[in-house]
Chains A and B, each alone.
Chain A
Amino acid sequence: MARALPWWFNSLLLPLANICLAFFACAMVLWLLGVDVAYATNTMLDGALGSSEGLGYTLFYTTNFIFAGLAVALAWQAGLFNIGAEGQALIGGLGITLMCIYGQSLPMVLLFPLTIVVSALFGALWALIPGWLNAYRGSHIVITTIMFNLIASSFIVYLLVGPLKAPGQMAAVSATFTESTWLPTIESIAWSLGIAIDPSPLNISFIWALMCCAAVYIYLWRSRIGFETRVVGLNARGAKFAGIARKRIVIITMLLSGALAAFIGLNEVQGSSHQLQVEFVSGYGFAGIAIALMGRNHPFGILVASLLFGVLYQGGAELAFNIDGIGNDMIILIQALVVLFCGALEWMLKPSLVNLLRLNHPLDSKGGS
C-alpha cells in the first residue's frame, strides 16, 4: 500500500540534506587547501551568529538579500525573468539620496515613509521601461533589464563625478547626509529600550523587509491581482481565456518588482553608508536570482534563503579576516556551492532519500504530455 510523501519531506528534509551536502563539499575544498575545517567552521558560525555584532551584520546582509529575492520572485511568478534588480536598486538609491539631501529637515517619522515611496517610485519607473517594452513591443525582458543595469550604473557614475559629487572629495561619492536623515539602527532602538547590544549597521529597514515578505505573500496568494499574476506566469493562453490582460499584469508586476529591488538602497544608502556610492549594490541584485531559486519563489522560502546567505556572507568575511590564504574568492565559492546543491541540484537526493527512508513513493511523473 502506497503513501504520499509526508509534507516535511520536500519542504524540510530535502533542503536540509542539500545544505549538508553543500557544506560537505565546502569542507572538502577547505581541507584540500590545508585549512583546519573544524576551526574554519567555528570561525564562520561564531562570526555570523556568535555575537550581537556578528548577528547584526548577518541580518543587515539578510535585509538586502530579502529585497533582491522578493524582486526576482515576484517577477518570476508572472513569467518574467527580471535580472535588472541591480540597476533598479541603483536608481532607487538615487531617489533616496535626493530625498535625504533635499528633505533633510523632515522628521524621521515623515522622512522614512517618504523615502520608501520615493525609492519605490524610482525603482519602479526604471523597471517600467523594460516592462513596457516587453508588454507592448515584445522585447525580451532579460536583454532589456540587463541593458538597463548598464545604463543605470553609467548614469550613477556620471552623477557622482558630476552634479552629485561631494565637494572636496576625490572618490566618486555623494556628500554624506546629515545625521538626522540616517535610518535608526536596531542598536540605538535597543539602547533606548535599555538593552545594550554591540553596534552594527542593522537598521529598521530589516523590519520593513519582513513586512514586504508578508505583503508579497498576501499579494500573490490572497489577492485578485496576485491570482491573475500567477495565471499569466503559468499559462499565457489560459490567462487570455480568463480575460486577464497580460500587458497590464506585466506592467504592474515590473513596477512592483522594481520597487522591491529599490529598497536595497534603504538599507545600504540610508541605513549604512549615508551617502550614494557607485558600487553600493555590489551584486545583491544578482544574488537575488539565486535566493529566489533557493526559496522556490515563495516569500517565506526567500526569508530562509536570505538568512542563510546572510550567515554565509558575514561568516565568510570573518573567515577571510581570520585565516590566512582564504580570501573573498572563498566566500564566493561557498555561495556558489550552496546555489549549486540547493538550487540547481535540488532534486538530486530525492530518490535515494525516499529509498533510504523506505517511503516507497515512486517519482510522480504525470506523463510529459
Chain B
Amino acid sequence: MLAPALELRNIDKAYHSVMALNGASISIAPGSIHGLIGENGAGKSSLMQVAYGLVQPDGGSIFIDGAPVELTTPLQAIERGIGMLHQQASWLEQLSVFDNIMLAEPASGFLFQNKTKALAKLESLRREYGFKFSLTTKLSELDYSQRQLVDVLRSLYRGVRVLILDEPLALLSSTQANYLNSLLVLLKMQGISVVVVSHKLAVLHQLCDVISVIRSGAVTACLDPKQVSLREFSTHMVGREIKLPHPRVEPSKTQAKTLLNILGLGVNGAKSGRKSMAHPLLTRIELSVAQGEIVACVGLPNAGQELLLDVIAGLTRFDAGTIDLLQHQIRVNSRYKIKHARRYGIAYAPSPIFNVGLVEQLSMAESVYLGYQQHGFGRWGFASMKKKHLQCLRLMKDWGIVPRLPALQSGLFSGGNQQKMVLAREMSQQPNLLLLNQPTHGVDAGAVETIYRRLFGMREHGCGILLCSTDLDEVMSLADKICVFSRGRLIETLLAKNTNREELALLIIKEAQHG
C-alpha cells in the first residue's frame, strides 16, 4: 500500500488555554477526496491550518509521503505540494487573474518572472480543468466562489498534490456545486488528493471517498460513505440524529398585515461607483413581506438580491421607488441609515463572507452591543463591564457558542461560532423584520437545526423574515415565498409549496442565460 500523501499524527494545539486540537490524527490517501466534518469549533480549521503551516502545533508530527516534515510557514507547505483555499481569502481586486497568481511567485531568473512561459502553462491548466474565467479578467468582475477557483488554479500552477478546501463557497451555492464536483473528480484522476471541509453533509456524502469526523479536537471516526448512511454521519458528528434536508415547518396561521412593502425600487449602477456594471443594479423591484412570513431571495451571485437587503437595512442608497415599513415611509430623499432601520425594528445579519458583522479585535462581550450601542451603555453613556459579560455569557449558553469566554477577541472564535454570535445578537433584539444573508454559512448541521427552530418561532410571533441564500435546500426548508432574481430584476415570485428544489435551480440558471 502507498504511503499516505499527507498524515497528521496526534496533533495538539491550545489557544489561550483552550484546547483546539487534542491528539487529532488524520491520514490522506494519494488521489482521494477526503471529507472533514465536525461541529463549529471542533477543530477542523485548526487542523487544516496546521497542515498548511499556518499554525504551529504544540505537539504531534506531520508526514508527507511517509517522511516526517516540519512545516513552520505556509511557504514550506507549498513547496511540499500542499495548497489551501481559505474561508476568507484576500485578493487584489484591481488586478487580473494572471497577475493575482503571479504575485506570489518567486522570480525565475535574476529579478524577473518569466511571464510568457507562466502564461502558457496557466492557460493550458485553465483549459484542462475547464475554469470558466479568462486569465485577463479582473478579480473585481468575479464573484466570491469564482475567486476561490482562482486560488485552485494557483495551487495547480504550483504543482499541488494535496489541496485543502476550507468551506468552499461554490459548494454553498446549489447552482455551482456541480462544477466543483466535476473539478474535484478531475483532480483526483490526476492523483491529487483533496481535503474538503464543509457542513454540507449531503454533498460530501456523495462526493467523498472517505469522511473523517472531528469532535472536540480529535478525529473520532473515519468512515466510508458507501457503507455508512447520511443519517449515521450526523449522529457521528453531533451525537444525535439530524434529519437532512432539514424538515419544513408550515406557519400555524396566515397573517394578512403587510410589514414591508417595496414598490418600483431601483438602484443605479453608476452612482454606486461600480463601473463594470453597465446595467442598473436593481430595477423596479416589487416585493412585500407580511407579518409572520419568511421570504427568500435567490439568484446567481450579484443578481441583486444581496444588494436589496443592504438597501432595506439602510446601508446603500436607492434611486427610485418607495419602501414602506409598517407606518414608516422611506423615500429616495429621506436620509435613511442603518440606525433608523434598527429604530424601526429591523435587524440585519450580514453575510459572514464579508466579515462585517463583528469586529475581530473586539471582545465577544463588546461585540454583543455592536450596532446596539444604546443598549450597551447606561444613561450617561458609560458601560458596566459586568453587565456586558453576563449578557454575553447568556447568549453563549443559549446558542452553544464555544469557548464560553466573553473576554476573548471575537476573531479568535471559529467562523461558525462567530456567525452564531451575529445571529444571536440580531435575533435577540426581537425585531419586526429580520434580514438574513447566508445565515447558516459555516454553521454545523446541529446548530442549523436550532437556528431554523428559532426562526420558525420568531415567525409564529409575527416577525417577518427576508433572507438571501445560495443554498436551495435551506430556501426550501425555510421559505414561505421565494423571489427569483436575475440581473437586478425580480423575475418570478413563487410560493414554496408550489415548487421544488430542482425547478428552482433550473429557473435560476435558465433566466441567467437568457438575460
Q: Which of B49, B338, B361, B369 contacts A234 (CB 8 A)?
A: B361
Do B58 and A223 touch (CB < 8 A)? no
Q: What residues make up the interface of A, taking CB atoms closer than 8 Å to B?
A: 1-4, 218, 222-225, 227-228, 230-231, 234-235, 237-245, 360, 362-369
Chain A residues closer than 8 Å to B348, beta-carbon distance: 241
Q: Which of A224, A227, A228, A235 contacts B356 (CB 8 A)?
A: A235
Within 8 Å of chain A (Cβ to Cβ): is B36? Answer: no
CB-CB contacts of B5-46 with A at 8 A, as 1s and 0s? Answer: 000000011111100000000000000000000000000000
5 sample A-B contacts, Cβ–Cβ < 8 Å, listed by A number: A3-B17, A218-B382, A235-B360, A242-B370, A243-B342
If A2-B12, A4-B14, A234-B361 touch, whether A227 touches B373 (CB-CB below 8 Å) is yes
Do B59 and A227 touch (CB < 8 A)? no
Chain A residues closer than 8 Å to B377, beta-carbon distance: 223-224, 227
If A228-B373, A230-B362, A243-B371 touch, whether A360 touches B87 (CB-CB below 8 Å) is no
Do B339 and A243 touch (CB < 8 A)? yes
If A1-B12, A2-B59, A365-B55 touch, whether A241 touches B17 (CB-CB below 8 Å) is no
**Closest CB pairs A-B (n = 5):** A2-B58, A362-B56, A243-B339, A224-B377, A367-B54
Within 8 Å of chain A (Cβ to Cβ): is B428? Answer: no
If A218-B382, A234-B359 touch, whether A227 touches B90 (CB-CB below 8 Å) is no
Alpha-carbon gap, A3 to B370, bound state (A): 31
Do A369 and B59 touch (CB < 8 A)? no
Return A78 CB to nearest CB of chain B, in Å: 13
A interface: dominant SS:
loop
CB-CB contacts of B327-367 with A at 8 A, as 1s and 0s? Answer: 00000000001110010000010100011111111100010
Q: Which of B16, B88, B360 contacts A4 (CB 8 A)?
A: B16
If A4-B14, A223-B382 touch, whether A241 touches B58 (CB-CB below 8 Å) is no
Residue of B nearest to A235 (CB): B359
B interface: dominant SS:
loop
CB-CB contacts of B54-65 with A at 8 A, as 1s and 0s? Answer: 111111000000
Which residues of chain B (378-401) have a CB below 8 Å from chain A?
381-383, 385
Chain A residues closer than 8 Å to B371, beta-carbon distance: 241-243
Alpha-carbon gap, A218 to B88, bound state (A): 34
Do A369 and B358 touch (CB < 8 A)? no
Do B12 and A237 touch (CB < 8 A)? no
Do B87 and A238 touch (CB < 8 A)? no
Residue of A nearest to B88 (CB): A369
Residue of A nearest to B385 (CB): A222
Do A360 and B58 touch (CB < 8 A)? yes
Within 8 Å of chain A (Cβ to Cβ): is B86? Answer: yes
CB-CB contacts of B138-149 with A at 8 A, as 1s and 0s? Answer: 000000000000
Return B356 CB to nearest CB of chain A, in Å: 5
Q: Which of A1, A224, A240, A244 contacts B381 (CB 8 A)?
A: A224
Do A241 and B376 touch (CB < 8 A)? no
Within 8 Å of chain A (Cβ to Cβ): is B120? Answer: no
Alpha-carbon gap, A235 to B362, bound state (A): 10
Do A234 and B411 touch (CB < 8 A)? no
Within 8 Å of chain A (Cβ to Cβ): is B412? Answer: yes
Alpha-carbon gap, A310 to B377, bound state (A): 37
Alpha-carbon gap, A3 to B18, bound state (A): 9
Residue of B nearest to A238 (CB): B359
Chain B residues closer than 8 Å to A3, beta-carbon distance: 14, 17
Chain A residues closer than 8 Å to B14, beta-carbon distance: 1-4
Do B86 and A367 touch (CB < 8 A)? yes
Do B15 and A369 touch (CB < 8 A)? no
Return B83 CB to nearest CB of chain A, in Å: 14
Alpha-carbon gap, A4 to B16, bound state (A): 5
Q: Which of A230, A237, A369 contacts B87 (CB 8 A)?
A: A369
Q: Which of B13, B337, B354 contacts A2 (CB 8 A)?
A: B13
Do B15 and A364 touch (CB < 8 A)? yes
